[in-house]
Structure 1
Amino acid sequence: MSARTPLFTWTPVGTADGSTPARYFVIVAKDPQFTKIADYAFTTIPAYAPRTATAPTTYSDETTHYYWVVLPAKNADGSGSVGFPTDGAPQPFDKRSLPPNLLAPDSGAIITGQPTFRWTAAEGARRYRLQVSQDPSFGTLLDDVVTDSTAFTSSTTYPADSALYWRVRADDQNLIGLAWSVVGVFQKQLSTPVPRSSNPTTGDLIPTLAWSNVPGAVSYDFHAEQPDGTTKDFIGLRSSAATPTKWTGTGIWHWRVRANFPKAFFGVVAGPWSTPVEFTRTVHSPTSPATEVLAAHRLVFSWSPKVGVKNYRVQASTRADFATTVETVTTDNTSYAPVMTQTSYVNGGTLYWRVAAVDADGNVGDYTTAQTFTLPLFLRLSASGYPVKGKTVSITITATNPSLLPVRSAMIVMRGAGVGTLVHYTGSTGKTTFASVHATRYGTVTVTGSKSGYQTTSIYLTVH
């Protein structure tokens, strides 16, 4: 058996008259009947190295025998040789070259990136053919490539998590395929992107989320699980970072990413998902809330502007817990001046206000802490009795607060319709009596009440 194309030699014989060396026909076949001729030559010397006129001839590796025979010619022109090869004592031989030895990947190896195949050089190799398949018999090929090198890095995306088989052989000078190597086996594991540790995990603003580049990936898929349990998928991202164009609402999101790899002919195959990462979306309250009192019943609420919000929600209440509200308004501005017509504003006392930012979908963020402001209490006046022209009458004035409780020491001034200017102060019951009210003409008597911390209010009594 020979690993190389053989050199044939034999004992020389002479011509019939013995004057010159004999000529020889050399015939090589793949069967003992010489019906499958592999090579045919005519030589004047008792040796033959297979070749054509311009290049060597090589024999393929076979698992069965080759047969060769030398047919001497009786005459110098080649005539007079034996007519049939089987009459010339054919001899068998075997041609089986030494295949390359596989070096990498190791048998049973798990590969996460693009595999690089390596093997030893084979004698007489002009190039090498590498084949990769999921079938150990190589009936269907994933890769079938030729290379002049003893190493090859494939750009093919192989199926993940399954056994893959590979082999290599040399092609000789005439590109005849020689013996295949033993079959190697490995497993491909598609790489997983790794979210970067620098990614924000909470915030008011729309974040930029990034992950590691995956060699060989042509795109990435991004999957988000929203706080309400719904999901959103963004397919075929070309970058290893993404900034959503819109992100509203508050709560905890979970996101993950996977790489897509090209298939052999068209399309992509998706790798495994990364570990989910949390992002807590917040809409914190505006900063620097302030109350500016312009007059007894003129106020302006203000705050600092907030990036990434659509508008602001303002609430006013008589309670610090805002269980009930005086008003709730939405404004695009960073200040608000209430119109003060609601009863709670009119009644006065200590009130509260707060403001929250609102995003593009109407989600209300955190409110500021309650801000307090105080308005003068409403002084409610009522009269028992009325003035009569030309008569002296008694009129009692009662002063109460918005809760209808008596107001003590309120100054009550009565004037008009000729009664002069009369001044009294309420007692502990909130009452004071004007015993001698004498109107000298028709018209209106004005009763005005005032006290520190209260609004100055008036009622009007018509003279009868």
Structure 2
Amino acid sequence: MKTINKIILISLAILTYSCEDILEEDITNDIVQIISPAKDTKIESNVVSFKWNSLKGADKYRIQVFTTDQVLLLDSLTTKANLTLPLNAGNYLWRVRAENYAYQSTYSFPSNFSTTIPDDLTNQQVILSSPDNDKFVNFINVTLNWIPLNKATSYSVKVVKTSTGEEVFSKNDLTDNSVMLDKPTLEDGNYEWRIKAKNTDSETKQYSARKFNIDTTSPNQPKNTLPADNSTQSVNTAVTYTWSIPADVGLAKSPISYVVEFASDVTFNSIVDTINSNATTLQYTSTTKGVYYWRVKAIDGAGNIGTNSTGYKFTVN
């Protein structure tokens, strides 16, 4: 009997912790070792590359940057052991800690550094503002925007199709901080845009780069699966609705979400409810008896809208 009681107590103790807590490594007393910028580092650039040693058991890292009077400028999470950030000229402190699902390490001791922005552009970078990296759009006249770089007098931009390496757009000696792609046609696909800044004496050592996706193909038409057409349901009872959709065969496959509509008429002129879903299933409860219809359409991440599925009828008793 004593043995059985011990087993029960041990089992109860284990159940007080989640599975994630049991599997995650306790890093509470660990400290992340910073690499750069080290104490008293002087940086001549508009960007700072933060680096630190990886910590065993960490899933991500939280980096914080302060002014010297302790004003928090940045609090960011990253899964990498490095992060490059734009900073104005000034004096700063930074620290980093490791995190996983269940635990957080101790912050590293704050390290101070300073930045100045010279006339020489060699070690500087152009900061890109839009479109966001890997954004999906459904048009070809994409406008590229960046933050003006101090001391730069002109910019060179080029756009490359990543699948082939073909340069599809190029402009030099731009004095504005934006440019619109004036190509009459661009195929669906993934593109990388690159920009370099120049002045009379220097230019940035490397191109700043981001990617975007052109997707002008509408999603396929979904097909209702369950509940079947002409089904009967009980009022105030949750019902699982499911549908299928053919695989996307377009060159740029943007993520798909769905809009499910419930109506009291077969023509869907009287919509009684609209539900959004990121999966091909959802649960819905009808609270009023009557005859209803449901259908679903797909919308992709570029904004393309597909055709509605054929409406299915159901009766709520």
Q: Would you call these one fold, judging by a TM-score over 0.5?
A: no
Structure with the bigger RCO (C-alpha within 8 Å, sep 6+) is 2
Scaled by the length of structure 2, the TM-score of the pair is 0.36
Which structure has the greater CA radius of gyration?
A: 1
TM-score, with structure 1 as normaliser: 0.26
